[in-house]
Amino acid sequence: MNSPTLHPRTARTTGLLYLMLAVVAVPGFLIIRPMLFDPDNPASTLANLIENETLARLGIGLELALVAVQALVALWFYRLFQRVDSFAAGSLATFGLFNAVAFLASAACLGGALDIALASASADAAGAAGAQLLYILGGNFWGVSALFFGLWLIPMGFLALRSGMPRALGWILVAGGIGYILNGFVAYLAPAADSVTALLVIPATVGEFWMIGWLLWHSFRTHPVADRHESAATSR
């Protein structure tokens, strides 16, 4: 379905930023972090940081890039949807910016852990404990941010329903948002229920990639004249 309320150029930029968010998040949190952080052995975490300083700095850089992209995609979603429903669009942007703050705190923890490691001897138990604590704290910033990530998806789904996107996409995003909120509670209240937490985030994953694909599809299938109309409107 084609929505006249969504400008193709803004949709394209939003979709590309959202795609970039996934591209930046995966290597930093899911690849580099497990290579450095040993949850069962602080001394191993310390040694990994000392021996792989460049990799550790790359992980910090990726988290900082994630902060920037998350903030930009939140603002561009507001720009995309503000004429559909300004309150929902503002809520979407606000929750997205709170996520960026959580990622910023995580990046600060990673930087602190590396500073401690480089200032410590390889067998320094206090340094190992400090670096381990900061990595745990950084991971928990990601964990608790699931609440704001869920809150970010709910207005996104509502706006998808209001703006002429496929209705299934809107409801999947709402369900994904609720799932992420529940995931944040289950992860701390029932930590042994790993299979439940994994299932709760599936709708969100499906909805996010569908949203990215739809925005890019909508932007490139719309006649280029619409881009010129948008440029003329924004220049006034």
CA distance 203 to 85: 24
Query: How many Cα atoms within 13 Å fall on the side-chain side of residue 204?
Result: 24
Chain segment 43-71, per-residue pLDDT in tens: 999 999 999 999 999 999 999 999 999 99
Task: List the one residue out of 19, 101, 103, 97 whose CA is nearest residue 61.
Answer: 103
- pLDDT tens digits, 148-203: 999 999 999 999 999 989 999 999 999 999 999 999 899 889 888 888 888 999 99
> Cα dist. 50→100, 113, 164, 225, 233 in Å?
28, 10, 52, 55, 54
pLDDT (0 to 100) of residue 194: 80
d(CA 203, CA 218): 22
Print burial letters for 194-214: b (CB count within 10 Å at least 16), e (below 16): eeebeebbebbebbbebbbeb
> How far apart are the C-alpha atoms of 102 and 50, rounded to whole Å?
26
92-133, pLDDT tens digit by residue?
Answer: 999 999 999 999 999 999 999 999 999 986 668 888 999 999
Tell me which DSSP letter residue 163 carries. T
Of 106, 73, 66, nearest to 92 by C-alpha is 73
pTM of the model: 0.86
- Looking at residue 125, its pLDDT comes to 86
